[in-house]
Amino acid sequence: MTEPAARILFDDGHLRVVLQPAEGKAGGRGTLLTFADLTFRPDGTRAWGMVPARRLGLDLIGIVSHAPDWYPARSVEAAARAVRPFVDARTVAYGYSMGAHAALKHARRLGVNHALAISPQYSIDPAVVPEDNRYAGYFRRKLHAGLHIDADELPPVPVIVADPYHREDGAQARAIMAAGLAHWVPAPFMEHWAIHLFRSSQVLGEALDTVLANDPLALRQLLRRRRQTHVWHRVVAREALRRGHEDRATHLREGALRHGCDPALLRDDQRELVPMMLRRFFEDGSWHRLDAAWSRYGAVLSGAFDPLQEVGHMLTAAGRGALAEPFFRAALDVRRDVAHVHGGLSVALSAQGRLREAVDAALAGRGWVPGDAALAVLAGEALLEAGEPALAEPHFRAALAPEEVDSATGPRAVERARAQAGLGRALAGQGREAEAVAALRRAVALDPQAESHALALATLLRDTGAAEEALLACQGLLARHSDSEAARRLLASLAAAPPTRPEPPPPTTAAQGGGFLSRLLGRG
């Protein structure tokens, strides 16, 4: 038998309405009125929900927007005259996300008494639902005046399916419930993916029957049975991993595999969520939970540059240089042209006391990314720590080229200040005190808030016999850092006989968590 041809009932450039009659004797079983989601656009006589409607023997009225506009009321009103003649008592308005909002808001307007809304929005105005700004970029105050769902707009039987634990979807569902009486069937841990519970046409058909019967309890039981699917196991595994429940996530991934989930999807989930979970441990101070990161997740992250380098920087900041090292090395196996990863490896090695290897890592990075000033500074600092001030000097000078006005402000000034301070230390280590003092003065001028630069300057002035200048520098340091114990000790030493030219105290190094490491973490 020839399939009835779908046809366009209405199109005004804002909305398109498509009618697909049920095939043969199946006609009359009911009608599915769908609102397409955010990504679906008009394409001939295609409509969202067309395939399951055909399989279920349902007439389909498919409403598709030409834009991601959340179906403004005036657009739907314009289409209503074309839609109403095809609506009957067994029609259910059905939609997901943007389409779910429309199913709730416009079903009654179109003469439909039942609606099934999956992960709907009450409003996309962030001032109305402040917990959800996912769609704030689509909100237009003039276009979307009255976008929220009023109680008198809801159809007699409105059914919502949404994840109560998902921050945004839960907030939207609660706003709808506060607006008027509706049935909320929870889809725990499905996030914004609750629509996947209805991918089976058979399940959708059973769900529509429960809505027509006004039996949300039956729908709840139906969805509970759907948990024995790979989709449910996968999304709950994601949530478990996000919350740091590693063993539960592993068990759920095994369940997803048993139910036929593609292993590549589970690997992608881990690559996305493992760094988030480890960062949560980092921010909570749960250091011990970071210790098994490589043995547990190194293999699954293999080849994934971004999560590898992110975890490496995180572990370095947590003082786990030895644990960070394999992540940086694995990241460099993927890409060698990213300076901060070479820098991270150098920092991780330095934190382990492996100074010569730290130097080699920084110099290797300079070979791959010769123009990166921050990496040049790090190479210089690594050489200083290894006792090679003469070799360190050219790296600091490279970081300072081309010369810029020393009174520059902002992040660039802070980076240049660090390079000037390193240059000062390198010059002092070679006995070139006058040049060293000049470099340290430039460092302090560029970044007056850096305690380490001012402390190095004051100490060098003291040790070169410039006691009065050292006193002024020390007083200025205490004015900016009144709680500095090192500055107080230095001030006290100025009243005693000067020592026999000890090395000036080094500033905070990258291995000790200084500014360069902070910048590395900021790059993520």
- Crossing angle of the two packed helices 515-523 and 411-429, in degrees rounded to 10: 140
Residue 498 is part of which domain span? Answer: 451-506
Instruction: pLDDT tens for the chain, 524 residues: list them.
Output: 455 689 999 999 999 999 999 987 555 689 999 999 999 999 999 999 999 999 999 999 999 999 999 999 999 999 999 999 999 999 999 999 999 999 999 999 999 999 999 999 999 999 999 999 999 999 999 889 889 999 999 999 999 999 999 999 999 999 999 988 899 999 988 889 899 889 889 999 999 999 999 999 999 999 988 877 888 889 889 888 888 888 889 999 999 999 999 999 999 999 999 888 888 888 888 878 888 889 988 998 999 999 999 999 999 998 999 999 999 999 999 999 999 999 999 999 999 999 999 999 999 999 999 889 999 999 999 999 999 999 999 999 999 986 544 444 445 888 899 999 999 999 999 999 999 999 999 999 999 888 899 889 888 988 888 888 888 888 888 888 888 888 788 888 887 655 545 455 555 454 444 444 444 434 43
The number of domains in the chain is 2
Question: Is 211 contained in some domain?
Answer: yes
Question: Is 182 contained in some domain?
Answer: yes
Q: Is residue 221 a contact partner of residue 188, using CB atoms and an 8 Å limit? A: no
The pTM (predicted TM-score) of the whole model is 0.57
Domain end: 174, 207, 225, which one?
Answer: 225
C-alpha of 36 from chain center: 27
Question: Is 523 contained in some domain?
Answer: no
Domain end: 225, 251, 279, which one?
Answer: 225
Question: Is 119 contained in some domain?
Answer: yes
Domain end: 225, 251, 271, which one?
Answer: 225
Question: Is 67 contained in some domain?
Answer: yes
Q: Is residue 293 a contact partner of residue 323, using CB atoms and an 8 Å limit? A: yes
- What pLDDT is recorded for position 232? 83
Q: Is residue 346 a contact partner of residue 365, using CB atoms and an 8 Å limit? A: yes
CATH number for the domain spanning 217: value is: 3.40.50.1820
The length of the chain is: 524
Distance CA 47, CA 34 (A): 8
Question: Is 260 contained in some domain?
Answer: no
- What pLDDT is recorded for position 476? 83
Structure tokens at 335: 């890409």
Question: Is 298 contained in some domain?
Answer: no
User: How many alpha carbons lie under 13 Å from residue 367 in its C-beta half-sphere?
Assistant: 7
The predicted-structure confidence for 171-188, as pLDDT tens digits, reads as follows 999 999 998 889 999 998
- What pLDDT is recorded for position 511? 45
Question: Is 317 contained in some domain?
Answer: no
- What pLDDT is recorded for position 514? 43
- What pLDDT is recorded for position 504? 52
- CA 59-60-64 angle, 5° bins: 170
Is the alpha carbon torsion for 420, 423, 428, 431 positive or negative?
Answer: negative
